[in-house]
Amino acid sequence: MKEVVKMSILTTKHLGKVYEGKVPYTALNDINFSIEKGEFVAIMGPSGSGKSTLLNVISTIDHPTSGSVCIDGEDPHKMNDDQLAHFRRNTLGFVFQDFNLVHTLTVGENIMLPLTLEGVPVSKIKKRTAEVNVIKLSI
């Protein structure tokens, strides 16, 4: 019988986030979990329970006050700015509730921008933009 090896793609250990102010607010307190490759996970809870804060810390939009996040074997919060930018472009995917597009750019230009920053050749950028146009998005 073959042993099944589980591979964690996301692990948090003792993750905490405190917003400082006149009265400190603890948004995350000692969060520990692991998600294995292929698992489907939903984060649920009432308003104000820390769902968005958790997602923001995991996705490197915000920094934890304590603890660690490990994504595919790496802690992005220990990366320098260049490493983090590369990690975000090539490893993370995030679906925002808002569009988070550059409002002064067209949809096509919003597609082209990160590809240009990544150094993708112009021919490939045009091809990818054309592929989006094929699925009936007016760009």
Q: Which residues of 55-64 are buried (b: 16+ CB within 10 A; e: fewer)?
A: ebbbbbebeb
Q: Which two tokens stand for residue 64?
A: 């934890």
The model's pLDDT over 78-113, given as tens digits with 9 standing for 90+, comes to: 999 999 988 988 888 776 666 677 888 887 888 888
Number of H helices, E strands in the chain: 4, 3
The model's pLDDT over 41-70, given as tens digits with 9 standing for 90+, comes to: 999 999 999 999 999 999 999 999 999 999
- Domains plus CATH for the chain? 8-79 (3.40.50.300)
